[in-house]
Amino acid sequence: MVLSINAGSSSLKFALAKVLPGSAPVRTAHGLIEGIGTAPHMVVHDTKGHILNERHWDKTRQEDHDVFLTALFDWVDTQIGPDRLIGVGHRVVHGGQHFTKPVLVDAATLDLLEALVPLAPLHQPHNLAAIRAIRAVRPELPQVACFDTAFHAGQPAVATRFAIPRALAAEGVRRYGFHGLSYEYGARLLAQIDPDMASGRLVVAHLGNGASLCAIRDGQSIDTTMGFTALDGLMMGTRCGALDPGVILYLQQTKGLNAAQVQNLLYEQSGLLGVSGLSSDMRDLEARPDLPAACEAIALFVYRIVREAGALASVMGGLDGFAFTGGIGEHSAAVRADVCRGLSWRRT
Protein backbone atom coordinates (compact mmCIF):
# COMPACT_ATOMS: atom_id res chain seq x y z
CA MET A 1 0.00 0.00 0.00
CA VAL A 2 1.09 3.57 -0.64
CA LEU A 3 -0.19 6.80 0.90
CA SER A 4 -0.40 10.02 -1.12
CA ILE A 5 -0.57 13.39 0.63
CA ASN A 6 -1.39 16.94 -0.47
CA ALA A 7 -0.58 19.18 2.49
CA GLY A 8 -1.88 22.76 2.53
CA SER A 9 -2.03 25.58 5.04
CA SER A 10 -5.36 24.61 6.58
CA SER A 11 -6.01 21.15 5.17
CA LEU A 12 -4.30 17.85 4.46
CA LYS A 13 -5.76 15.63 1.74
CA PHE A 14 -4.73 12.01 1.47
CA ALA A 15 -5.47 8.74 -0.30
CA LEU A 16 -4.51 5.13 0.29
CA ALA A 17 -3.86 2.87 -2.69
CA LYS A 18 -3.02 -0.77 -3.25
CA VAL A 19 0.02 -1.43 -5.44
CA LEU A 20 0.21 -4.65 -7.44
CA PRO A 21 3.13 -5.57 -9.75
CA GLY A 22 2.44 -4.73 -13.38
CA SER A 23 -0.72 -2.70 -12.79
CA ALA A 24 -1.72 0.82 -11.82
CA PRO A 25 -2.36 1.60 -8.12
CA VAL A 26 -5.96 1.07 -7.00
CA ARG A 27 -7.34 3.59 -4.52
CA THR A 28 -9.00 1.99 -1.49
CA ALA A 29 -9.70 5.02 0.70
CA HIS A 30 -9.33 8.79 0.73
CA GLY A 31 -9.84 11.54 3.22
CA LEU A 32 -9.27 15.04 4.45
CA ILE A 33 -8.06 16.73 7.60
CA GLU A 34 -9.43 20.27 7.48
CA GLY A 35 -9.68 23.20 9.85
CA ILE A 36 -6.00 23.04 10.79
CA GLY A 37 -5.30 26.02 13.03
CA THR A 38 -8.96 26.39 14.05
CA ALA A 39 -11.01 23.26 14.81
CA PRO A 40 -9.38 20.29 13.05
CA HIS A 41 -11.57 17.49 11.73
CA MET A 42 -10.51 14.27 10.00
CA VAL A 43 -12.83 12.17 7.87
CA VAL A 44 -11.94 9.09 5.80
CA HIS A 45 -14.15 7.58 3.07
CA ASP A 46 -14.03 4.34 1.16
CA THR A 47 -14.42 4.20 -2.62
CA LYS A 48 -18.22 4.19 -2.30
CA GLY A 49 -18.28 7.30 -0.13
CA HIS A 50 -18.97 5.54 3.17
CA ILE A 51 -17.28 7.04 6.22
CA LEU A 52 -14.56 4.75 7.56
CA ASN A 53 -13.24 7.01 10.28
CA GLU A 54 -13.93 10.43 11.73
CA ARG A 55 -12.19 12.43 14.42
CA HIS A 56 -12.27 15.94 15.88
CA TRP A 57 -9.61 17.86 17.78
CA ASP A 58 -9.69 20.94 19.95
CA LYS A 59 -7.99 23.97 18.44
CA THR A 60 -4.35 23.28 17.54
CA ARG A 61 -1.56 25.25 15.97
CA GLN A 62 -1.25 25.27 12.19
CA GLU A 63 2.26 23.86 12.39
CA ASP A 64 1.22 20.73 14.33
CA HIS A 65 1.32 18.46 11.28
CA ASP A 66 2.87 15.70 13.39
CA VAL A 67 -0.30 15.49 15.49
CA PHE A 68 -2.51 14.89 12.46
CA LEU A 69 -0.08 12.63 10.65
CA THR A 70 0.30 10.47 13.74
CA ALA A 71 -3.49 10.10 13.84
CA LEU A 72 -3.52 9.30 10.12
CA PHE A 73 -0.84 6.63 10.47
CA ASP A 74 -2.60 5.14 13.48
CA TRP A 75 -5.71 4.73 11.33
CA VAL A 76 -3.70 3.29 8.43
CA ASP A 77 -2.08 0.75 10.77
CA THR A 78 -5.47 -0.39 12.06
CA GLN A 79 -6.75 -0.79 8.51
CA ILE A 80 -3.86 -2.56 6.79
CA GLY A 81 -1.37 -3.46 9.51
CA PRO A 82 1.90 -1.71 10.39
CA ASP A 83 4.08 -3.41 7.77
CA ARG A 84 2.12 -3.07 4.50
CA LEU A 85 2.71 0.63 3.90
CA ILE A 86 5.75 0.81 1.61
CA GLY A 87 5.96 4.53 0.94
CA VAL A 88 4.40 8.00 0.90
CA GLY A 89 4.03 10.28 -2.11
CA HIS A 90 3.76 14.05 -1.66
CA ARG A 91 2.54 16.82 -3.89
CA VAL A 92 5.24 19.51 -3.78
CA VAL A 93 4.39 22.69 -5.64
CA HIS A 94 7.83 23.93 -6.73
CA GLY A 95 10.69 21.76 -7.98
CA GLY A 96 12.74 24.59 -9.47
CA GLN A 97 15.45 23.74 -11.99
CA HIS A 98 16.72 20.73 -10.05
CA PHE A 99 13.67 18.46 -10.04
CA THR A 100 11.81 17.60 -13.23
CA LYS A 101 10.57 14.16 -12.16
CA PRO A 102 9.60 12.48 -8.86
CA VAL A 103 12.49 12.08 -6.41
CA LEU A 104 13.15 10.06 -3.26
CA VAL A 105 13.44 12.60 -0.44
CA ASP A 106 16.56 12.86 1.71
CA ALA A 107 18.07 15.67 3.79
CA ALA A 108 19.85 17.22 0.80
CA THR A 109 16.61 17.22 -1.22
CA LEU A 110 14.78 18.97 1.61
CA ASP A 111 17.44 21.68 1.73
CA LEU A 112 17.09 22.35 -2.00
CA LEU A 113 13.30 22.46 -1.76
CA GLU A 114 13.48 24.77 1.25
CA ALA A 115 15.37 27.29 -0.88
CA LEU A 116 12.32 27.48 -3.17
CA VAL A 117 9.92 28.59 -0.41
CA PRO A 118 10.04 32.30 -1.49
CA LEU A 119 8.75 31.24 -4.93
CA ALA A 120 5.69 29.46 -3.51
CA PRO A 121 5.13 30.92 -0.02
CA LEU A 122 1.51 29.75 0.26
CA HIS A 123 2.28 26.12 -0.55
CA GLN A 124 5.91 25.01 -0.28
CA PRO A 125 6.28 25.44 3.52
CA HIS A 126 3.26 23.19 4.18
CA ASN A 127 4.34 20.58 1.62
CA LEU A 128 7.73 20.34 3.32
CA ALA A 129 6.27 20.42 6.84
CA ALA A 130 4.35 17.21 6.11
CA ILE A 131 7.51 15.50 4.81
CA ARG A 132 9.46 16.52 7.92
CA ALA A 133 6.65 15.40 10.22
CA ILE A 134 6.61 11.94 8.65
CA ARG A 135 10.40 11.72 8.87
CA ALA A 136 9.97 12.37 12.60
CA VAL A 137 7.26 9.78 13.27
CA ARG A 138 8.26 7.16 10.63
CA PRO A 139 11.92 7.79 9.72
CA GLU A 140 12.28 4.42 7.98
CA LEU A 141 9.40 5.04 5.55
CA PRO A 142 10.46 6.09 2.01
CA GLN A 143 8.97 9.39 0.86
CA VAL A 144 8.73 10.59 -2.73
CA ALA A 145 8.18 14.20 -3.81
CA CYS A 146 6.12 14.76 -6.99
CA PHE A 147 6.30 18.27 -8.42
CA ASP A 148 3.66 20.55 -9.91
CA THR A 149 6.35 22.16 -12.03
CA ALA A 150 7.64 18.89 -13.56
CA PHE A 151 4.89 18.49 -16.20
CA HIS A 152 5.96 21.78 -17.79
CA ALA A 153 9.69 21.02 -17.85
CA GLY A 154 9.64 20.07 -21.54
CA GLN A 155 8.19 23.36 -22.78
CA PRO A 156 10.13 25.14 -25.53
CA ALA A 157 12.64 27.69 -24.27
CA VAL A 158 10.73 30.56 -25.85
CA ALA A 159 7.77 29.76 -23.56
CA THR A 160 9.86 29.83 -20.40
CA ARG A 161 12.02 32.94 -20.90
CA PHE A 162 11.46 36.38 -19.41
CA ALA A 163 12.80 39.45 -21.22
CA ILE A 164 15.33 40.12 -18.47
CA PRO A 165 19.17 40.09 -18.39
CA ARG A 166 20.62 36.69 -19.24
CA ALA A 167 22.47 36.48 -15.92
CA LEU A 168 19.18 36.39 -14.04
CA ALA A 169 17.79 33.76 -16.39
CA ALA A 170 20.90 31.65 -15.76
CA GLU A 171 20.14 31.83 -12.03
CA GLY A 172 16.71 30.27 -12.64
CA VAL A 173 14.51 33.34 -12.96
CA ARG A 174 12.19 31.91 -15.63
CA ARG A 175 8.66 30.66 -16.14
CA TYR A 176 8.04 27.25 -14.53
CA GLY A 177 4.26 26.74 -14.50
CA PHE A 178 2.26 24.92 -11.83
CA HIS A 179 -0.74 22.59 -11.33
CA GLY A 180 1.28 20.08 -13.34
CA LEU A 181 0.07 17.03 -11.40
CA SER A 182 -3.52 18.03 -12.19
CA TYR A 183 -2.74 18.60 -15.87
CA GLU A 184 -0.80 15.36 -16.24
CA TYR A 185 -3.65 13.38 -14.72
CA GLY A 186 -6.26 15.25 -16.77
CA ALA A 187 -4.40 14.66 -20.04
CA ARG A 188 -4.05 10.95 -19.26
CA LEU A 189 -7.73 10.62 -18.34
CA LEU A 190 -8.89 12.56 -21.39
CA ALA A 191 -6.89 10.22 -23.60
CA GLN A 192 -9.14 7.42 -22.35
CA ILE A 193 -12.36 9.43 -22.72
CA ASP A 194 -11.71 11.17 -26.04
CA PRO A 195 -8.41 10.14 -27.70
CA ASP A 196 -8.92 12.46 -30.68
CA MET A 197 -9.33 15.53 -28.49
CA ALA A 198 -6.45 14.51 -26.23
CA SER A 199 -4.08 14.21 -29.19
CA GLY A 200 -5.13 17.57 -30.61
CA ARG A 201 -4.72 21.19 -29.54
CA LEU A 202 -6.14 21.23 -26.04
CA VAL A 203 -6.50 23.88 -23.35
CA VAL A 204 -7.18 22.62 -19.83
CA ALA A 205 -8.49 25.00 -17.18
CA HIS A 206 -7.60 24.21 -13.57
CA LEU A 207 -10.05 26.50 -11.77
CA GLY A 208 -10.12 26.64 -8.00
CA ASN A 209 -8.75 28.85 -5.25
CA GLY A 210 -5.63 28.65 -7.38
CA ALA A 211 -6.31 28.88 -11.11
CA SER A 212 -4.36 28.45 -14.32
CA LEU A 213 -4.63 27.28 -17.94
CA CYS A 214 -2.36 24.92 -19.82
CA ALA A 215 -1.92 24.41 -23.55
CA ILE A 216 -1.42 20.66 -24.14
CA ARG A 217 -0.72 18.92 -27.42
CA ASP A 218 -0.51 15.13 -27.57
CA GLY A 219 -0.23 14.96 -23.79
CA GLN A 220 2.68 17.43 -23.59
CA SER A 221 2.66 20.88 -21.98
CA ILE A 222 3.27 23.59 -24.60
CA ASP A 223 2.64 26.70 -22.50
CA THR A 224 0.81 27.70 -19.32
CA THR A 225 -0.40 30.87 -17.62
CA MET A 226 1.52 30.58 -14.34
CA GLY A 227 5.18 31.57 -14.42
CA PHE A 228 8.02 32.05 -11.92
CA THR A 229 5.60 31.77 -9.01
CA ALA A 230 2.01 30.60 -8.49
CA LEU A 231 0.93 34.25 -8.48
CA ASP A 232 0.97 34.81 -12.23
CA GLY A 233 -1.71 34.31 -14.88
CA LEU A 234 -5.40 34.05 -14.10
CA MET A 235 -7.27 35.86 -11.36
CA MET A 236 -7.70 33.48 -8.39
CA GLY A 237 -9.43 33.23 -5.04
CA THR A 238 -7.17 35.67 -3.20
CA ARG A 239 -4.29 36.04 -5.71
CA CYS A 240 -4.21 38.82 -8.30
CA GLY A 241 -2.85 36.88 -11.27
CA ALA A 242 -0.98 38.73 -14.02
CA LEU A 243 -0.20 42.29 -12.96
CA ASP A 244 1.74 45.18 -14.49
CA PRO A 245 5.06 45.20 -12.55
CA GLY A 246 4.67 48.95 -12.36
CA VAL A 247 1.83 48.42 -9.87
CA ILE A 248 4.32 46.84 -7.46
CA LEU A 249 6.68 49.80 -7.87
CA TYR A 250 3.75 52.14 -7.23
CA LEU A 251 2.78 50.27 -4.07
CA GLN A 252 6.33 50.48 -2.75
CA GLN A 253 7.40 53.93 -3.91
CA THR A 254 4.16 55.89 -3.64
CA LYS A 255 2.05 53.98 -1.11
CA GLY A 256 5.03 53.11 1.09
CA LEU A 257 4.33 49.37 1.36
CA ASN A 258 7.25 47.13 2.23
CA ALA A 259 7.92 43.76 0.57
CA ALA A 260 5.95 41.77 3.16
CA GLN A 261 2.93 44.06 2.80
CA VAL A 262 3.02 43.82 -0.99
CA GLN A 263 3.25 40.05 -0.79
CA ASN A 264 0.27 39.90 1.56
CA LEU A 265 -1.79 42.19 -0.69
CA LEU A 266 -1.07 40.23 -3.86
CA TYR A 267 -1.37 36.74 -2.38
CA GLU A 268 -4.02 37.15 0.32
CA GLN A 269 -6.17 40.22 -0.38
CA SER A 270 -6.68 40.23 -4.15
CA GLY A 271 -8.47 38.04 -6.69
CA LEU A 272 -12.12 37.21 -6.18
CA LEU A 273 -11.92 38.43 -2.59
CA GLY A 274 -10.36 41.75 -3.46
CA VAL A 275 -12.69 42.58 -6.35
CA SER A 276 -15.89 41.42 -4.64
CA GLY A 277 -15.09 42.62 -1.14
CA LEU A 278 -17.15 39.62 -0.05
CA SER A 279 -15.44 36.25 -0.43
CA SER A 280 -12.79 34.23 -2.26
CA ASP A 281 -15.28 31.38 -2.69
CA MET A 282 -17.09 31.26 -6.04
CA ARG A 283 -20.11 29.63 -4.36
CA ASP A 284 -20.57 32.67 -2.12
CA LEU A 285 -20.34 35.04 -5.07
CA GLU A 286 -22.77 33.09 -7.23
CA ALA A 287 -25.23 33.16 -4.33
CA ARG A 288 -25.26 37.00 -4.46
CA PRO A 289 -26.46 38.06 -7.92
CA ASP A 290 -27.87 41.17 -6.20
CA LEU A 291 -24.39 42.40 -5.27
CA PRO A 292 -22.74 44.26 -8.19
CA ALA A 293 -19.22 43.74 -6.86
CA ALA A 294 -19.77 39.98 -6.69
CA CYS A 295 -21.02 39.94 -10.28
CA GLU A 296 -18.06 42.04 -11.37
CA ALA A 297 -15.63 39.58 -9.73
CA ILE A 298 -17.19 36.63 -11.57
CA ALA A 299 -17.20 38.52 -14.87
CA LEU A 300 -13.53 39.44 -14.50
CA PHE A 301 -12.64 35.84 -13.59
CA VAL A 302 -14.33 34.57 -16.76
CA TYR A 303 -12.90 37.36 -18.93
CA ARG A 304 -9.34 36.56 -17.89
CA ILE A 305 -9.88 32.85 -18.62
CA VAL A 306 -11.22 33.62 -22.10
CA ARG A 307 -8.43 36.09 -22.88
CA GLU A 308 -5.64 33.74 -21.76
CA ALA A 309 -7.26 30.76 -23.52
CA GLY A 310 -7.20 32.76 -26.75
CA ALA A 311 -3.48 33.42 -26.30
CA LEU A 312 -2.76 29.72 -25.71
CA ALA A 313 -4.85 28.74 -28.73
CA SER A 314 -2.76 31.13 -30.84
CA VAL A 315 0.46 29.51 -29.58
CA MET A 316 -0.83 26.12 -30.76
CA GLY A 317 -2.25 27.44 -34.03
CA GLY A 318 -5.85 26.62 -33.11
CA LEU A 319 -8.04 24.91 -30.55
CA ASP A 320 -9.57 21.43 -30.81
CA GLY A 321 -10.84 21.03 -27.26
CA PHE A 322 -11.26 22.69 -23.87
CA ALA A 323 -11.46 20.82 -20.55
CA PHE A 324 -12.32 21.97 -17.03
CA THR A 325 -10.99 20.71 -13.71
CA GLY A 326 -10.51 22.03 -10.16
CA GLY A 327 -13.26 22.88 -7.69
CA ILE A 328 -14.79 25.74 -9.71
CA GLY A 329 -14.27 23.90 -12.99
CA GLU A 330 -16.10 20.87 -11.63
CA HIS A 331 -18.93 22.50 -9.70
CA SER A 332 -19.76 25.83 -11.37
CA ALA A 333 -21.88 25.17 -14.46
CA ALA A 334 -22.38 28.94 -14.83
CA VAL A 335 -18.65 29.64 -15.09
CA ARG A 336 -18.20 26.78 -17.58
CA ALA A 337 -21.06 28.10 -19.72
CA ASP A 338 -19.75 31.69 -19.65
CA VAL A 339 -16.25 30.56 -20.64
CA CYS A 340 -17.62 28.47 -23.52
CA ARG A 341 -19.72 31.40 -24.73
CA GLY A 342 -16.63 33.61 -24.61
CA LEU A 343 -14.70 31.11 -26.72
CA SER A 344 -17.42 30.57 -29.31
CA TRP A 345 -15.97 33.29 -31.59
CA ARG A 346 -19.23 33.73 -33.46
CA ARG A 347 -19.50 36.56 -35.99
CA THR A 348 -21.88 39.27 -34.84
Partner residues linked to 216 by β-bridges: 202, 221
Angle at 226 between CA 221 and CA 231, to 5 degrees: 160
d(CA 88, CA 111): 19
Strand order of the sheet with strand 143-147? Answer: 51-56, 41-46, 26-34, 11-18, 2-7, 87-92, 143-147, 103-104
Residue 88 Rama label (left phi>0; alpha psi -120 to 50; beta): beta
For residue 13, the cross-strand partners are 6, 32
Q: Are 196 and 190 in contact (CB under 8 A)?
A: no
Exactly one of 77, 148, 223, 290 is catalytic; name it: 148
Exposure letters 311-324 (e unless 16+ CB within 10 A, then b) = ebbeebeebbbbbb
**What residues contact residue 179 under an 8 Å CB cut-off, 6+ apart?**
148, 206, 210, 212, 214, 224, 226
Is-contact 218 202, C-beta < 8 A?
A: no
Which amino acid, one-letter code, is at 83? D
Beta sheet of 201-207, edge-to-edge order: 220-224, 211-217, 201-207, 321-325
Confirm if 296 and 198 have CB atoms less than 8 A apart: no
Query: Rounded CA gap, 240 and 250, in Å?
Result: 16
Smallest Cα–Cα separation from 30: which of 67, 5, 62?
Answer: 5
Annotation marks residue 338 as catalytic = no
In 3D space, the residue among 247, 210, 235, 208 whose CA is nearest the CA of residue 304 turns out to be: 235
Query: Which sequence positions are flagged as catalytic?
Result: 148
